[in-house]
Amino acid sequence: MTYKPQRRQAFGPPTTTWILPAIYFVLSLAFLATVMLGQMMPSNSWLFRYIVEGDEHRILGARALSLIMFGGGVAALIRTGMRGVIIHPDGIEARYVIGFGWPKVKNCTWMEIDKLVLDRGHVMLYLWDGSLFGLPDVFDKAGLAHVLERVAAARAIPLRGGSGRNFDEEE
Q: Where are the domains of the chain?
A: 9-13+83-161, 17-80
pLDDT at 163: 65
The closest alpha carbon to 12, from 110, 129, 143, 115, belongs to 143
Helix 62-81 to helix 19-40 angle (10° resolution) is 160
Per-residue pLDDT of the chain (171 residues; tens, 9 = 90+): 456 677 889 999 999 999 999 999 999 999 999 999 999 999 999 999 989 888 888 899 999 999 999 999 999 999 999 899 999 988 999 998 887 778 889 999 989 999 999 987 789 999 999 898 889 999 998 889 889 988 888 888 898 887 654 434 443
Q: What is the assigned CATH class of domain 9-13+83-161?
A: mainly beta
| pTM score over 0.85 | no
